[in-house]
A and B are shown apart, each in its own frame.
Chain A
Amino acid sequence: MTGPLIKAQGLGLKVEDRWLIKNLDLSLDRGSFLAVTGPSGSGKTTLLRTLAGEMEASLGSVKKQLDCHNRLAMIFQDLQLADGATALTNVLGGSLERHSFLSTFFGFPTHEQIEANVLLTQFGLAEKAHQWTSTLSRGERQRVAVCRTLLTRPLLLLADEPVSSLDPNLADKVLAKLKDYITSNDGSIVCALHNDDQVAKFADSVLHLDSTDPCGWKLEEIKKEEGT
């Protein structure tokens, strides 16, 4: 399949009579990383949720070119983990769509458990796999949420500030892994970020949102230096 994974035309987003974004045209090619930046309240989360199909656009349309529903997944800003379950069980939650209720009633298939453990190890959580997520730090919980979403094997990943609680070094590692995981499968990422360095390092293009002017958004290509 070719062409952009997601395409928004004339998109207008409104929350409680306040316009956040107007006339946004967006097209996301395969293998690309789009960063969304802007101050709090500028509409980053609303845009991601609209692209995910969780919210209706007030104006315009969003078209996705995905072969089935599970190829789109979201990392939520508020993580939305089950506190009374282990990190491993939370991650395995990402595999549920591939299995029936009865086949996961008494546990998950071995190959899914292996894949979940590999993800936890890659994100530095191997030793925390069997701890309840309620006992993990915010940064660790954030990585559990990332692993859960990656286990859905998404083609289009919508990530709402996925590294906001991590120190810069760890945040870079997590973003690098996310980008590698998704783009190596010819997928794309839309990621809300606050840190300009991270945007410059990982994004191919950036959408700046303006909290005062709904038409004041700016979409820019990021020119990469040789070797980066």
Chain B
Amino acid sequence: MKRELPWHSRFDLLGVTFLLFLLGALGSLPAVEGSGRNLDYWGNISRFASQFFPPDWSILGRTLEGIIETVQIALVSTLLAIIISIVLSIGAARTIAPLWLLWPIRMFLNLIRTIPSLLWALLAVVIVGSNPLAGVIALTFYSVGYLAKFFSEAFEATNTDAQKALCSLGASPLQAFQYGLWPNARPIIWSHCLWMLEYNVRSASIIGYVGAGGIGLHLKLYAESADSWNKFSMVLLCILIIVTILDFTGENIRKSIRDKLEGNRN
């Protein structure tokens, strides 16, 4: 016999939040106003887009130099952020640190995360001038806010059985952490590091806009000069290629780590 579910059974947490989201989005529509002028949108788009093609290959050398600087900024800032984040995340992990240390570090990380990467870049440019060092400083701070949070969550979620076993076999707490907890958390942490590196290459591509080094400066110059959209598209193409390569490599490494960790326990 077919039994109908009561009408309100659909309104679980998921349903209610989705409904609220939908109402909020629809209610916000009046805030989206155009200029009021009668513009030829499609004409504008096609005229603008046509200026992107064909990309100007004559600037390839210069663009690659900018891309290399961007990747270098991303690599150095990610490395610095990893080192700082490992130390901070131990203090921010509920399963490891005492409460008096946990909350100040978490508040500090929240504060860092509140500031977007472009603002960090502006602050760094003001302090150290317009150069790649500003980019490294900006992205290091920005990344620490996220990586330390991810790492501490990884430590909290990691199985602590091996750590406890080593303690009971006579290891000191630090040794039990290094050989019991760290090996289990390491794959997840490395996966976060790769994600952050990908993210930083993207971020390093834009912070040059405010003078913090990398390919962003090229983007700014081409965007501001007339008739350089084909050069602009060349830069975008190079960024797209490098980001796609990183995306593909990162995903494959993450998958292989995942497979290895899940193993074949027959």
Of B34-42, B56-64, B180-188, B216-224, the one contacting chain A is B180-188
Of A5-13, A20-28, A72-80, A184-192, the segment with at least 4 beta carbons within 8 Å of chain B is: A72-80
Partner of A80, one of B162, B175, B183, B186: B162
Q: Are B170 and A97 in contact (CB under 8 A)?
A: yes
Residues of chain B having any CB pair with chain A under 8 Å: 159, 161-162, 164-166, 168-172, 174-176, 178-181, 183-187, 260-266
Asked if residues B170 and A132 are in contact (CB atoms below 8 Å), the reply is: no
Q: Complex Cα distance A1/B220, Å?
A: 82
| A84-B172 in contact given A93-B166, A134-B263, A138-B265 (Cβ < 8 Å) | no
**A80-B164, A96-B169, A134-B262 in contact; A105/B183 too (CB < 8 A)?**
no
A117 — which chain B residues lie within 8 A by C-beta?
Answer: none
Please pick, from A83, A96, A136, the residue contacting B170 in the complex, using a CB distance under 8 A.
Answer: A96
Q: Please measure, in the bound complex, the distance between the C-alpha atom of A219 and the C-alpha atom of B86, giving whole angstroms.
A: 52
Of A96, A104, A135, which is in contact with the most chain B CB atoms at under 10 Å from its CB?
A96
Tell me the minimal C-beta distance from B96 to chain A in angstroms. Answer: 15
Q: Which residue of A lies closest to B257 (CB)?
A: A84
B189 to chain A, nearest CB (A): 10
* A104 in contact with B175 (CB, 8 Å): yes
**Contact pick for B179, options A73, A93, A132, A149, CB 8 Å:** A93
- Output the nearest chain A residue to B159 by Cβ-Cβ distance: A83
Q: Are B171 and A93 in contact (CB under 8 A)?
A: yes
Known: A93-B169, A94-B169, A104-B175. A82 touches B162 (CB 8 A): yes
- Contact between B161 and A96, CB atoms less than 8 A apart: no
- Check B165 against A85 for contact (C-beta < 8 Å): no
* Residue of B with least CB distance to A145: B165
A69, CB-defined interface residue at 8 Å: yes
Contact B170 A84 (CB under 8 A): no
Q: Verify A137–B261 contact, CB threshold 8 A.
A: no
**B-side contacts of A93, CB under 8 Å:** 162, 165-166, 169, 171, 179-180
Q: Which residue of B lies closest to A104 (CB)?
A: B175
In the complex formed, the residue of B with least CB distance to A134 is B263
Is A70's beta carbon under 8 Å from chain B? Answer: yes
Interface size on A, residues (CB 8 A): 35
Task: Determine if A226 is an interface residue (Cβ-Cβ < 8 Å).
Answer: no
Q: Is the CB of A137 within 8 A of B265?
A: yes
**In the bound complex, how far is the Cα of B164 from the Cα of A105, in angstroms?**
19
Report Cα–Cα, A93/B161, bound state, in Å: 13
For B184, what are the chain A residues with a Cβ–Cβ distance below 8 Å? 82-85
Beyond the given A83-B184, A84-B183, could you list 5 further A-B residue pairs with CB under 8 A, ordered by the A residue number? A70-B170, A78-B161, A84-B186, A101-B175, A136-B263
Contact yes or no, A101 B172, CB < 8 A: yes
Q: Which 9 A-B pairs have the closest CB atoms?
A: A97-B170, A85-B183, A80-B165, A96-B171, A134-B263, A82-B162, A84-B183, A80-B161, A82-B183
Q: List 28 A-B contacts (CB under 8 A).
A: A70-B169, A70-B170, A76-B161, A76-B165, A80-B164, A82-B162, A83-B183, A83-B261, A84-B184, A84-B261, A92-B179, A93-B162, A93-B166, A93-B171, A93-B179, A93-B180, A96-B169, A97-B170, A101-B175, A101-B178, A104-B179, A134-B260, A135-B264, A137-B266, A138-B266, A141-B265, A148-B169, A152-B169
* Interface core residue of B164, B166, B170, B172 (most chain A CB under 10 Å): B170
Q: Is A89 an interface residue (CB 8 A)?
A: yes
User: Cα distance A100–B186 when bound, in Å?
Assistant: 22
- State the CA gap A54–B168 with chains docked (Å): 8
Minimum Cβ distance to chain B for residue A145 (Å):
8
- Complex: A81 Cα to B163 Cα, angstroms: 8
